[in-house]
Structure 1
């Protein structure tokens, strides 16, 4: 017990209520703490940082792509570390190094200039390589590890009420993610992009201490049961007989793993590309920066509503229904971007992205333990996270080249609609491997 609770003053066994609710709160905050490493947190810094470093939009997008792709190679391994060491230590180091990476980002201009003077090489390649390395760290720690560890921890502490609990977490996370561009943009306007990254870094250092104090790996470590209730022996035996804990290798042999994983990756691709270039996308249609950022408000309202309803129903309905709805909403978002010059296109884009974001929060959290069990959850979700990271890596560059070479962002829609058609055909025979 002392080893499990090392460095902490909090003992779950002495909690006057089920400690899983503490895990729910602190884990949800953990997902929010990953925002500086998410596209939604990076995108607001795009224009001021690329201008300060002397990089073009394509160069900055490519640095983001390469850094994110490199991080994908390590995310799957982090899932194995989660299974071996638990959420507590994995999340602590992720939060700490994310904060450290943001500090380095805040002085990236100074570092770039120093390197140029040392090697006597005045070229855009220096800041490009520097930002690639920094993006590797912030994407790996933020989008990858901190998000995965925090979300998985919540799911491990609940079973029967997993969907209901995730609805609470999803509302919090959706509100935080949707409002973060507005808040970070205001932070940048008031303090500059350098100081803004430093403020976020300090917040992460403080939260890393909270992780050690409040994060806990499994209820069984403290002789507790998921959901806080000791089930009858008969029910326990029944559960053992009917539930199978899949290894990553076994999960990859099922159709559901690939179709659901690739659908989530599509969501990551589209939302990342849109978010990263949201100001430019709407500027191409003569909208202001404030109007572009404000579009996240209606998207978040839809996402929260869909996520809440989807999580509550997730304990009672087949999850492949969510898969079909996500594919349909992807079509709406794609046509919205294709016809963005028309007001109807904006509505389609908002509705499509809202439904996508809402169901993403359900499927990516609840479906994996429901389909494949809890024992190897880290390895399985870590592999899926690598799909999401790769998709989010290539999105900004493809969106950027669509605009700079072809003259419009709408051409991305042809790619996304084709991919959705492929996923729709492959998803017809998806079933729960349990």
Structure 2
């Protein structure tokens, strides 16, 4: 399917999304208990620090992320690797609440933010004809990490101190990733992009939007409403899964097995959506992205059986697979690729911000004695509004041609 330089760029994206997992919520959450014990803080204190640090990282990412348009891939990714390695090392030295805030901020910025931003921006910019399949393959890196790292870390924590694990991660980052970028993307430039005899004729004439122009386009905000539904609702669900489990009386083993369904359906959707995007375009698929997520809130609201846990997380997994690819390819299709780094920096920052928002909102609602069914209703109402607004402009999502 992919040849030569194309394969190298995809492998680069795959590895970078895998390593982005060190800054993702699912990975950092594995050390929640160890950190709270070390600092003697509560769940609520940890959640507040996590949300505020994530929020700050989203603001910084808007500025730092746009620099990918000013440097070649090798130089920019080198800076990201150094920052990630330093962040991992500092994480092993957490000794106070202030240090915890700084460490989470750096991990969210370098890991979840810049690593995934570098990978997806490079793929979206480089590929045209097979952008959907390339992005779906790239995101499998994170799916692989989600599948193997939790079990590995839980196993390692039984006989290795958590701080030593982070030191080992830091060393792995600074040894492995420089070899990866020198081997795979040293010679990659925008003018070495994948050639498409069919699409090149069209894309040459597409208006290349700057970030300032995008911010003046009303379509951007309506699309963002839909794009941000998955991050904040899924993050809230994952962070407060213990609240959902206790409210529904599902039991820990049921939710653990349900996460396997989530992972499998995410991967299957990644594969399928990549081909669908290349065939029909992201713009046409966007309207369907959050329908499974909407159905998941329906399941959570109306059903209490343990079996419904599988349907609930499985439906979230389907939307997650769609959102991962559409979140990168849609912007490239509508606004062009010349300034895609600057645009993606903004949208990635908004995504990171929404995860902080989800954590804070779910916690606030739980503290206000909202039931899990009421929280599902709030989430479902947001999704329904976002889908409805997107439906109204679905015929206005085509790019502008010069």
* TM-score w.r.t. length of structure 2: 0.89
SS of structure 2 residue aligned to 1:63: helix
Residue 146 (structure 2) aligns with: 177
CA contact (8 A) 1:311 1:362 kept: yes
Structure 2 counterparts to residues 408-427 of structure 1, below 5 A: 408-427=371-390
Alignment partners' CA distance in 2, 1:294 and 1:194: 29
Structure 1 gap ranges (5+)? 1-16, 113-126
2:221 corresponding residue in structure 1:
258
- The equivalent of 2:92 in structure 1 is 106
- Long gaps (5+) in structure 2: none
* Contact 1:338/1:345 (8 A) holds in 2: no
> Contact between 2:133 and 2:275, CA under 8 Å: does it hold in 1?
yes
Do structure 1's residue 201 and structure 2's residue 131 form an aligned pair?
no
Is the 8 Å Cα contact of residues 248 and 376 (structure 1) preserved in structure 2?
yes
SS of alignment partner, residue 226 of structure 2: helix
Q: Sort the Cα spacing of 1:402 and 1:35 in 2 relative to 1 into closer, same or farther, 3 A.
A: same
Helix, strand or coil: the match of 2:290?
helix
Q: Distance in 2 between matches of 1:192 and 1:25?
A: 32
Deviation at 1:269, TM superposition (A): 0.7
Q: Which residue of 1 aligns with 2:323?
A: 360
Query: What does 1:14-29 correspond to in 2, within 5 Å?
Result: 18-29=4-15
Aligned partners of 1:377, 1:198: CA distance in 2, in Å? 34
What's the RMSD between the two structures over aligned residues?
Answer: 2.5
Report the CA distance shift for 1:100/1:295 in structure 2 as closer, same or farther (over 3 A). farther
1:31-430 to 2 correspondences below 5 Å:
31-108=17-94, 111-112=95-96, 127=97, 129-214=98-183, 216=185, 219-220=188-189, 224-227=192-195, 231=197, 236=200, 238-241=202-205, 243-279=206-242, 281-286=244-249, 289=252, 291-339=254-302, 341-406=304-369, 408-428=371-391, 429-430=393-394
Structure 1 residues 285 and 375, CA gap change in structure 2 (3 angstroms): same
Partner SS, residue 295 of structure 1? helix
Deviation digits for residues 241-261 of structure 1 (CA, Å, limit 9, x no counterpart): 3x2211112223334422332
* Cα pair 2:208 2:336 within 8 Å, conserved: yes
Q: CA deviation at 1:206?
A: 1.8
Query: Structure 1 133/315 Cα, relative in aligned 2: closer, same or farther at 3 Å?
Result: same
For the residues of structure 2 that align with 1:46 and 1:351, how far apart are their CA atoms? 25
Question: CA-to-partner distance for each residue in 1:334-383, whole Å, 9 max, x for gaps?
Answer: 23333563235313312221111110122012222122111000111111
CA contact (8 A) 1:269 1:392 kept: yes
Number of residue pairs aligned between Structure 1 and Structure 2: 395
Deviation at 1:303, TM superposition (A): 1.0
TM-score (norm 1): 0.83
The verdict on how the C-alpha distance between 1:310 and 1:400 changes in structure 2, with shifts beyond 3 A counting, is same
The range that moved more, 407-416 or 309-318, is: 407-416
